[in-house]
Amino acid sequence: MNSNVRELRPKPPETEKITINLGYVDLGHVDLMVQEGFYSNRTDFIRTAIRNQLERHADVVKQSTARKSLDLGLRNYSREDLEAVQRAGEMLHINVLGLASISQDVTPELARATIASVSVLGAWHASAAVKAALADRTR
């Protein structure tokens, strides 16, 4: 890459790593399904199982998302966004199902001055200082 080219905004990861514990028999069943060629690997099996369950309960999820007024997907809050909220004399209530991120250039002071509450189902990316500043406002 040319040395004078910089990425304007780092791309957030599209996945979040989780750890699960499975009993040996369940794990053996997963391995058997992989060995028989139904799935390419354990991760493929687990992702497929999760997607199937989410699809099975899609109506309930959709109703809950609407009832709780959740933003769905990826939501980034930049320093400019928060400064605009501050100029307007308003406070944000962050309610996200997916990924909520606060830009790295947001100071803890600006976050506290503009964010009234944070509720994220999924993943929340922010600097450790901003997370600490909003700890009492995070559900």
Task: Give pLDDT, residue 4.
Answer: 63
User: β-strands 115-125, 71-77: how paired?
Assistant: unpaired
Return the structure tokens found at 78: 């930049």
Question: What does pLDDT average to in each consecutive run of 10 residues of the chain (139 residues)?
Answer: 58 79 95 97 96 95 88 94 97 95 97 97 96 96
- In three-state secondary structure terms, 118 is strand
Burial 33-43 (b: 16+ CB within 10 A, else e): ebeeeebeeee
Cα 46–Cα 30–Cα 22 angle in degrees, nearest 5? 75
CA dihedral (88, 94, 96, 98) in degrees, to 10, reads 90
Task: Give pLDDT, residue 17.
Answer: 87
Task: Give pLDDT, residue 65.
Answer: 87
User: What pTM value is reported for the model?
Assistant: 0.71
What is the number of other CB atoms lying within 10 angstroms of the CB of residue 109?
11
53 alpha carbon, distance to own chain's centre: 19
d(CA 57, CA 78): 33
Query: Residue 89 belongs to what H/E stretch?
Result: none
Largest CA distance in the chain: 60
- Is-contact 109 83, C-beta < 8 A? no
